[in-house]
Amino acid sequence: MTALALAIGAVLAVACVVFVALPFLREPDPVEDRLDEPGALERRALELAEERDRALAALKELEFDHRTGKISDEDYRELVGPLRARVAEALRALEPHAESTEERVHAAG
């Protein structure tokens, strides 16, 4: 029983080592071995995209709350203007990045 247990244990250990080493066995000499990392531009774009999605979701929620009667017409009129402005601002803020992306594409090309 002990010999069998040790044999199974050895097979298990070898299998685990091979599995752990697999990324190196598959790519012994890779062209690129660096993890992708978002740059400053991407991080800023991500923030803006989150802000845009958040503003759009808030506007959608406000519309629905108004329809259900949770928000009165007067409150709706007070709240919808600033929210729409925020959505527009968030969309505008993303535009320069699109432009800079285009610029980068042209520069690279």
- Chain residues binding another protein by CB under 8 A are 1-2, 4-6, 8-9, 12-13, 15-16, 19-24, 27, 30, 32-39, 41-43, 45-47, 49-51, 53-54, 57-58, 61-62, 64-65, 67-72, 74-75, 79, 97, 101-102, 104-105, 108
Residue 60 to residue 69: CA distance in whole angstroms = 14
CB-wise, 30 or 85, nearer to another protein? 30
Report the 10 Å Cβ neighbour count for 88.
12
Residues composing the chain: 109
